Structure 1
Amino acid sequence: MKYVIGIDIGTSAVKSVLVSGEGKVVCEHSEGYPLYNPKPGWSEQNPDDWAERTIVSLRRLMDKSGAKPSEVEGLSFSGQMHGLVLVDGAGKVLRPAILWNDTRTASQCRKIEQTLGSKLLDIARNRALEGFTLPKILWVQEHEPEILSQAEHFLLPKDYVRYRLTGSFAMDYSDAAGTLMLNVAGKTWSPEILQAFDLPMSLCPKLVESSEQTGTMLPDVAEAAGLLPSTKVFAGGADNACGAIGAGILGEGKTMCSIGTSGVVLSYESRKDINPQGKMHFFNHGEENAFYVMGVTLAAGHSLSWFKDTFAKNLSFDGLLEGIEEVTAGSGGLLFTPYISGERTPHPDADIRGSFIGMDSGHTLKHFARSVMEGITFSLRESIDIIRQSGKEITEVTAIGGGAQNETWLQMQADIFNAAIVKLESEQGPAMGAAMLAAYGCGWFSSLAECAEQFIRPAKTYAPNKEQVEVYSELFSVYQDVYAQTRGLNERLAAYRK
């Protein structure tokens, strides 16, 4: 028997999956770690927590599965994007990691825009948003210059963990694309961007393909993890790129919708000259010389969990959603906008806030729950429409994440997107994508697409209902009016937020 391991470095936990040569997930194990919020808007973690819990996760994965260390040929990574890790020449972490959901860098984003102007979208293909890495480096440069002066390299979360396992520094293109320092089409660090902010090129680690081997396990780490020092370690990719690989988004027209805490619509793109002008993200894929466009709803699943925790705390999610299929499309004239954490696509607006519109005394908890789900899906439809407007035909969407766990929601996506929705047989998300990169890197397959044919199997397809499509199309036009008509109100209310 032969295996590979996929490791996903998430925001709340590391997840490891052991996958066989047939693509079966034989075993999985997760280990949590803390998140720190030392000031309002700040979000930090200790990079050593990621590394130490990863090693523990690997050891427990091997113990639980009973697999022999000699049967594990390789491992690879998926990781939360954008998080800044600064290390000195000895690889020592210089300060806590600043994460993707940290919002302290608004002024640095404006500085980037003012300094680079249109060159930012021409080179990095993405707007300057608080979550990205360059604004975080500039924040350290401004507020902690003594820290930056000691830094030999900046790394992203999975890259630091991989360094701890192998002793080598590297970063793959899919994760580097989320730093605002990469020439995305040219696949090189941008001297023009770095020089504009007095950042040395040496701060950037070497760039590699996601499937490239970056080393083997350090002997002491291998022993602690229950693996052999000869275990091959591959670069891995950004969580969204790995999620795309794990969902089989490996060809023109392939599209996925992932609903977790945030929501993502991602579509494969082979053309490197595409420039969405900041309407959507444009990143390098984990597949060599491929790209993807991506739209983000900041509070997708988070909107539903917020609603449950606030208004139905004693109910489980299954209890909250029980009977929503009996509520007609449009939730009895009740409309929800999921802007409770601001919005990203198509409105990069940190100040907009959510709303329920159309409430009356006849609405029940089920109307509200369905309305929240519809509002989340309408927000994701905006990303689908932007991709379609670029000339792509989207007739099928693979659903992953929490939004793929409820049949009513899957049908709702089919009707709102007007596309067939595919649910996978075994959906492991980014961890599966990382395992597939290891399998491909080990030479098990001639391409990631061939690997996907073996590893990924559809379970069920939900076809759009013509009548529901028409209803939702009309409601969607109302949804699209809400942002403009509530923006001014939210600006006036901002002073009262505590």
Structure 2
Amino acid sequence: MYLGLDLGTSGVKAMLIDDDQRIVGSASAGLDVSRPRPGWSEQDPADWIRAADEAIGGLKAAHSQALAAVRGIGLSGQMHGATLLDKHDAVLRPCILWNDTRSYAEAAELDSDPQFRALTGNIVFPGFTAPKLAWVRENEPEIFAQLRWVLLPKDYLRLWLTGEHMSEMSDSAGTSWLDTGKRRWSESLLAATYLEERQMPSLVEGTEGAGALRPELASRWGMGQNVVVAGGAGDNAASACGMGTVGEGDAFVSLGTSGVLFSANARYLPNPESAVHAFCHALPNTWHQMGVILSATDALNWHAGVTGRSAADLTAELGDELKAPGSVTFLPYLSGERTPHNDAAIRGAFAGLGHESSRAVLTQAVLEGVSFAIRDSLEALRSAGTLLSRVTAIGGGSRSRYWLKSIATALDLPVDLPADGDFGAAFGSARLGLIAATGADAFSVCTAPETAETIAPDASLVPAYEDAYRRYRRLYPAIKGATM
């Protein structure tokens, strides 16, 4: 048996799989996000441990014999979070999360240093880890002075599980401190934020062992001794391992809190000017590119909160048949935007509102706005040299057929739906636990699920969607600077 632990923004999910990669069971525990100021987003790392313990406890209650047979554990987690520890491994402040934009000025200053793009292959985004540390040094010098370790969120769970300060390549590539092509920490990039390599965790590949489960935790959960904990992966790379998106040209679109267009690469293909992320993959000698939008289902959930209707009710109101875009356009920049704008200050907007703009019209505009934002990512990937022929849809938003038709038509690409099953980050991290524990070939383990259905673009609406996308593209420069 193998256990996958996925530390998300809204909860921790634990999943058990067997040697044949069949899911034996899963359990979850919730998390809350603190937003003490506009643009800030934080969590207490102690809550991650509480939630992980609760989720594993749920598995023990339902599947104690299977849990006892666990040989390997894989970890995945939300990326970029700054978890700061002192020399005693005590947490110094709440973790600053991936969607926190307070360090936009520090990010711009670091990005103006040419070595960051040259070595990392990426723009220094405000959500990345390095500018957060620059912000802490400037605004909380007493915290920075006590700093001994900087860990990413899932690697804080590893510290609890194993006592080891370790990380892996895919997650570390999102810090702005990794030499992404050489897959190692850069001393010069760390020095630019007044840090040293000794303050970073040691690095392994995601498929390698990165510590063993502490005996007291193994005893508590009824596990045996010598349970290996794999390096694991950042959440998107872990999802890619779960989906089998590991070969050249394989791609998925993820409709979660944020939105991701992810493509696997057999070689390192940086193009930071396109605002595409070029990161290490979780498998050795592989990389990936991502276009990232900050509000995908988050945009629909915001709309649901404003209207007092559930997201499911709102999308059901549209029916199943795709409609041509109307006069209302929605920009989903509720927390700023990454690809392609790298703009932490921009905010969302509706344009083209009239007396006839009903709730359903606004819902349609929200879904289309997210679809067009994903189209922006597709165009950015193309400019970085990656051409896609199709994508697979995952994430909570993929349950809406209307939305999938909208995305397929906006991208003018077929969208595949995997057969029933859970192939997300928890499953991918369990696969990495299996590989680390058994030494199995990573590409043989990380295979793609069967395709249950393919949603083709609506050819009759592609021209209308293209016109609406061009209108969408004109709105960003029109409102830039007017939404602060």
Match of 1:52 in 2: 50
RMSD: 2.0
* Unmatched 5+ stretches in structure 1: none
Q: Is the 8 A contact 1:56 1:225 kept in 2?
A: no
Q: Which amino acid aligns with 2:58?
A: R
For residues 385 and 63 of structure 1, the distance between their equivalents in structure 2, rounded to whole angstroms, comes to: 48
Distance in 1, matches of 2:91 and 2:83, equals 7
1:14 aligns with 2:12: yes
Partner of residue 433 from structure 1, selected from 409, 424, 428: 428
Shift in Å at residue 220 of structure 1? Answer: 1.1
Separation of aligned partners in 2, 1:41 and 1:266: 26
- In the superposition, relative to structure 1, how do residues 391 and 151 fare at CA in structure 2: closer, same or farther (>3 Å)? closer
CA drift of 1:273 comes to 4.7
Stretch moving more, 160-169 or 475-484 = 475-484
State the match for 2:342 in structure 1.
348
Q: Partner residue of 1:80?
A: 78
> SS where residue 104 of structure 1 aligns?
coil
Q: Does 1:123 align with 2:119?
A: yes
Cα distance in 1 between the residues matched to 2:32 and 2:457: 42
Describe how 1:220-259 pairs up with structure 2 within 5 A. 220-259=216-255
User: Which residue does 1:461 correspond to in 2?
Assistant: 454
Name the structure 2 match of 1:380.
374
Aligned match of 1:104:
102
Structure 2 counterpart of 1:111, one-letter code:
E
Structure 1 CA distance, aligned partners of 2:402 and 2:269? 38
1:284 aligns with 2:277: no
AA matched with 1:416: A
Deviations 1:55-75 (A, max 9, x none): 232122122124344421211
How far apart, in 2, do the equivalents of 1:232 and 1:197 lie?
Answer: 33
| TM-aligned CA deviation for residue 327 of structure 1 | 6.7
Deviation at 1:418, TM superposition (A): 1.3
Please state whether the residue corresponding to 1:81 is helix, strand or coil: coil
Moved over 6 A (4+): none
- Distance in 1 (CA, whole Å) between partners of 2:258 and 2:67 is 36
1:411 paired residue number: 405
* 1:149 counterpart residue number: 145
Task: Summarize the Cα distance change of 1:196–1:365 in structure 2 as closer, same or farther, 3 Å threshold.
Answer: closer
Task: Give the superposition deviation at 1:159.
Answer: 0.5
Confirm or deny that 1:360 pairs with 2:358.
Answer: no
- Cα deviation, residue 328, structure 1: 5.4
AA partner of residue 424 (structure 2) = G
Q: Separation in 2 of the partners of 1:22 and 1:155?
A: 33
Residue 96 and residue 395 in structure 1: after superposition, are their counterparts in 2 closer, same or farther (change >3 A)? same
Aligned partner of residue 67 in structure 1, secondary structure = helix
Do the aligned partners of 2:325 and 2:468 also contact (CA within 8 Å) in 1? no
1:470 equivalent among 441, 463, 474:
463
Query: Structure 1: how far apart are the matches of 2:340 and 2:204?
Result: 31
Deviation, 1:380, is: 0.3
Between Structure 1 and Structure 2, how many residues are aligned?
483
Q: Distance in 1 between matches of 2:330 and 2:133?
A: 36
Q: For residues 235 and 481 of structure 1, do their structure 2 counterparts lie closer, same or farther at Cα, with a shift above 3 Å needed?
A: same
Letter aligned with residue 461 of structure 2: Q
User: Percent same amino acid at aligned positions?
Assistant: 35
Q: CA deviation at 1:343?
A: 1.7
Query: For residues 91 and 59 of structure 1, what CA distance do their matches in structure 2 show?
Result: 25
Distance 1:430 1:153 in 2: 26
Q: Normalization by structure 2: what TM-score?
A: 0.94
TM-score (norm 1): 0.92
User: Does residue 314 of structure 2 align to residue 303 of structure 1?
Assistant: no
